[in-house]
Structure 1
Amino acid sequence: ILAPNVWQHTSYLDMPGFGAVASNGLIVRDGGRVLVVDTAWTDDQTTQILNWIKQEINLPVALAVVTHAHQDKMGGMDALHAAGIATYANALSNQLALQEGMVAAQHSLTFAANGWVEPATAPNFGPLKVFYPGPGHTSDNITVGIDGTDIAFGGCLIKDSKAKSLGNPGDADTEHYAA
């Protein structure tokens, strides 16, 4: 648990040459419902997260928002859709997901010139405060703050202060994104 009503989920994928690579996301209880930030690497792992939510929190998952179009954040979209969960992503993430053969979110988020999500595209997001800072880890990466906490979650964009690298720089805007 990261804060009252906020949990971190972690999944791993064995990457040749790198070993088990971790990916984190969030589970947020908001009154009588749950909000999820990022899927696991796979549908099976995402289903395990949904099963944990049912067993431990026992509230419906109302929606999920993903922070960018890489497998570690969108790899479990089919599991969310099969469970009837509304999914949201940056419009650019949805475009990139389809180009890469991944499943896109059902709904596209758009952002104002100041970077904050247009409220009409993020209905019922409750405590989730979604921001597009511009290109960094990827061209589409967004961040999610949790109102009432000190949590700022950036998927792969925001690194731990002890991180020794930027991780996967393949889609990074290296002119603006540095360790």
Structure 2
Amino acid sequence: LDMPGFGAVASNGLIVRDGGRVLVVDTAWTDDQTAQILNWIKQEINLPVALAVVTHAHQDKMGGMDALHAAGIATYANALSNQLAPQEGMVAAQHSLTFAANGWVEPATAPNFGPLKVFYPGPGHTSDNITVGIDGTDIAFGGCLIKDSKAKSLGNL
């Protein structure tokens, strides 16, 4: 997305195939872009998207929530992200994740997450950012929490 004063800003998400279903981490910047991703999943993977989890309440991670909801996809976010979403002009997820004192998601708030391991490290890029790992792999998705070694700040704290 072209951001005034910044130029083109990239954003990454994650698509996880889990048996006969797909799990999505983060939306695209917009509903249209998110719908394109869902279309790609349908054409290339041809499995239903069971759920989506977003890593924080900014447009590059939650900007496509309406597209997910229109497609009937269950959406999850940190409870703090859902609280912050309206202030950020975002649509909140349908479900709120809560976290134990050690940072790991409370399992009762993350049903059917399969291999997704969700962790709240505390404030980093934002006060609500979470990370998502894939059990049984060496994959850890940090979203905007992961910074270039040349970055001068954590971001939006």
SS of 2:12's partner is strand
TM-score (norm. length: structure 2): 0.95
**How many aligned positions are there?**
156
Distance 1:99 1:21 in 2: 22
Higher relative contact order (CA 8 A, sep 6+): 2
Partner of 2:62: 74
TM-score (norm. length: structure 1): 0.83
Distance 1:40 1:48 in 2: 9
Distance 2:53 2:69 in 1: 12
Whose helix proportion is higher, 1 or 2?
A: 2
Alpha-carbon deviation of 1:99? 2.2
Distance 2:128 2:155 in 1: 16
- Per-residue CA deviations over 1:112-154 (Å, capped at 9, x if unaligned) read 0000000000000001000000011100000000112111111
Distance 2:146 2:96 in 1: 22
Q: Show structure 1 runs of 4+ deviating over 3 A.
A: 160-168
Give the superposed CA RMSD: 1.4
Question: Are the equivalent residues in 1 in contact too, given 2:104–2:120 (CA < 8 A)?
Answer: yes
Alpha-carbon deviation of 1:102? 1.3
- Per-residue CA deviations over 1:70-115 (Å, capped at 9, x if unaligned) read 0000000000000000000000000000222310000000000000
Whose strand proportion is higher, 1 or 2?
A: 1
Question: What is the aligned counterpart of 1:156 among 133, 136, 144?
Answer: 144
Gapped regions of structure 1 (runs ≥ 5): 1-12, 169-179
Alpha-carbon deviation of 1:18? 1.4
Alignment CA distance shift 1:140-1:167 (3 Å): closer
Q: Percent identity?
A: 99
Alpha-carbon deviation of 1:159? 2.2
